[in-house]
Amino acid sequence: MVGKFERRKDTVQELTESAATHVGQIATIIAGAVRDVTREIGDWVSDGIEMREAAKKAREDEGEDEGEDKPVE
């Protein structure tokens, strides 16, 4: 027959193992979410940089085109 102390010990052990498993799963979910959010922010910043560079190139191209329309004296 299992004594009262051993039953309580087994219950505490099971609860602790269960808690550790769930906390581990939650940490994995959070780590994945942080990774995904960081990737999205990085992609967003990269898009902004690319748009800025494209706008700069477009401005430079407009300046070159204006020079071609002017007659040379």
Structure tokens at 27: 């940490």
> Is the torsion defined by CA of 38, 43, 47, 49 positive or negative?
positive
Q: pLDDT digits over 10-62, tens only?
A: 999 999 999 999 999 999 999 999 999 999 999 999 999 999 999 999 999 98
Per the confidence metrics, is the pTM higher than 0.85? Answer: no
Distance, CA of 12 to CA of 16 (rounded, Å)? 6
Q: pLDDT digits over 39-53, tens only?
A: 999 999 999 999 999
